[in-house]
Amino acid sequence: MSPKNDIAEVSQESLYRIFTIPEAPDSTLGKIEKHLSENLMGFLGEHIVAREKPLQEIERDFDKSQIPEEPQFVSDHTEFLLDKLVAHSVHTASPRFIGHMTSALPYFLLPLAKLMVGLNQNLVKIETSKAFTPLERNVIGMLHHLVYQQDAPFYNRWMHSAQHSLGAFCSGGTIANMTALWVARNRLLQADGDFAGIAADGLAAGLQHYGYSKL
């Protein structure tokens, strides 16, 4: 934790440093990161205990609606998160926890998550992900094969095709359901004869082409 007399600096140089220079090993954040790396179980056992505290009291720690005018040291904010957030979190990482579709994750995901955040890839296009896009298509191909059991030539042709997709990863159940409905609609109202498809001619033209004019 920073000394009480120290004031967090706001300048272009300090902002640049935040995004380019790692926290010092002896800083609060550096020590926590080291502790996590050395003993995840110890950290979880000591910090995530879901202390008995009424929700109303917890809400008081997060009741400010205005963004603070003064900056804060990362180490101070980390201490706040440990004391006010982590200490009152539900220990869903426990192998004995059952509920809300949440289960324990293997421990190797922690360093992998750090790698993912550090690389900060964007799979929306090849220019911002490169190797991650083929990896994503590879995993989707494996899941597709697990369900549909197509032969090798099928996956050689379609898995890495830039014009096609065997599936899509979604951020949650709602987005997945909406995506499935979107795909089902496009397959039902696909291009046919003088109808060039929904993307080109629109939904109304597609419905009319397939005989849904009375809707």
pLDDT at 81: 85
pLDDT at 2: 59
| Residue 1 in this model has a pLDDT that exceeds 60 | no
pLDDT at 154: 98
Residue type, 111: P
pLDDT at 8: 77
Q: Considering only residues 49 and 205, tell me which one the structure prediction assigns the higher pLDDT.
A: 205
**If you search the block for the tokens 């890839």, which residue do you land on?**
121
Tokens for 155, please give them: 């996956």
User: What is the chain's mean pLDDT, rounded?
Assistant: 85
In sequence order, the 6+-apart residues with CB closer than 8 A to the CB of 46 are none
Tokens for 171, please give them: 């951020």
Confidence band for 215, pLDDT divided at 50, 70 and 90:
low
Q: Is 192 helix (H, G, I), strand (E, B) or coil?
A: strand
Its pTM stands at 0.73
CB-CB contact of 139 with 166 (8 Å): no
Residue range 140-186, pLDDT digits in tens: 999 999 999 999 999 999 999 999 999 999 988 999 999 999 999 99
Residue range 43-79, pLDDT digits in tens: 777 766 666 888 899 999 999 999 988 888 887 888 8
DSSP 8-state class, residue 215: -
Q: How far is CA 107 from the centre of its chain?
A: 17
Residue 126 CB neighbours (<10 A): 12
Helix (H) or strand (E) holding 56: helix 55-60
Average pLDDT over residues 9-15: 80
DSSP 8-state class, residue 67: P
In sequence order, the 6+-apart residues with CB closer than 8 A to the CB of 36 are 43, 110
